[in-house]
Amino acid sequence: MTIVIALILAALAYYAWYDTLGPTFTMTVRPLISGFFTGLIIGDVQMGLLIGGTLELMALGVYTYGGATIPEYSVGAILGTYFGKASGFEVGIALAIPAALLLTQVDILNRFLNFIFVHRADTYAENGDDKGFDRMMVRYSHMIWGFSRAIPVFLAIAFGEPVVKGITSFFETYPWINKGISVAGGILPALGFAMLLKIMPISKYPAFLLLGFIMFAYLKIPLVGIAIAGVAITLVYQQLKLRKAEG
């Protein structure tokens, strides 16, 4: 039974990346969704929501801008939810974060190894072999992405139970580890915002960043309200600017 679940969840990890690279129908690479799907598969939706939601808030705004490598939150959510069901939320989340961090190395290797496909594509192009190229794309182009996530998930679930039991008792003996992880989890989203700010010209528009902060910190406007106010303020700004340009 464990092997079957391990295979299904490995397939989910594969699908999560394929979906992001191709159709982007479900954004399963995001921990909120992969946690939810894992919860459905293993029959503990609440755990999936908790683990997925917690990781999602940590990963908010963290995206692969320009091909940057980010922690592997989808694998983190899958494993966190799976082990959380057996051993509780604390253990699940304490496993999810290190798992996500560990697999960042795999992502870098994966993005490097994919050069194989461009070089084969060059050969197909030189021979005018579009059929061969299509075959490579359909059958193989997603394999390194998919298996580099699916295999770790499969191994962790198929052989991880004794290890996880050991880890659980370890965390119970040293509660300060969980305290440390929960504080770290609270500040990790700072990275996402920093990445966003880096691709934006803050020095050109510093006032708008401050406006958003004031609306939240002092006026206590909920986030959706800030977004709507943001659209209104920007429209006014652009209209005034346009009028000025027109003379």
Partner 1 sequence: MATAETEKKITHADLMKSFWRYIWLFQCGWNYERMQSVGYCYSILPILKKTRPGEEEFKEAFLTNLNFFNTNPVVGAPLIIGAHIALEEAGASLETTEGLKVGLMGPLAGVGDTLVWALYNSIIFSIGASMALTGSVLGPIFVLLFVFFPYLAVRYWQFTWAYKQGVNLVTQLGGGIIAQITEFATIVGLIVIGGFAPSIVHLNIAWKPAIAATVQGEAVTQVIDIQAQLDSILPFMLPVLVTALAYWLLKKGWTPVAVLGVLFVIGFIGGAIGFFG
The least distance separating partner 1 from the CB of residue 93, rounded to whole angstroms, comes to 12
Q: CB-wise, 144 or 153, nearer to partner 1? A: 144
Note the Cα 236 to chain centre separation in Å: 35
Q: CB-wise, 4 or 217, nearer to partner 1? A: 217
Q: CB-wise, 108 or 155, nearer to partner 1? A: 108
Q: CB-wise, 13 or 62, nearer to partner 1? A: 62
The least distance separating partner 1 from the CB of residue 246, rounded to whole angstroms, comes to 13
The least distance separating partner 1 from the CB of residue 28, rounded to whole angstroms, comes to 9
Q: Is the dihedral of CA 63, 107, 186, 205 positive or negative?
A: negative
Three state DSSP letters for 170-194: HHHHCHHHHHHHHHHHHHCHHHHHH
C-alpha closest to that of 52 among 12, 22, 21 = 12
Say what the alpha-carbon torsion angle 87, 88, 94, 96 is, to the nearest 10 degrees. 90
The least distance separating partner 1 from the CB of residue 27, rounded to whole angstroms, comes to 5
The angle formed by the CA atoms of residues 182, 78 and 172, to the nearest 5 degrees, is: 40
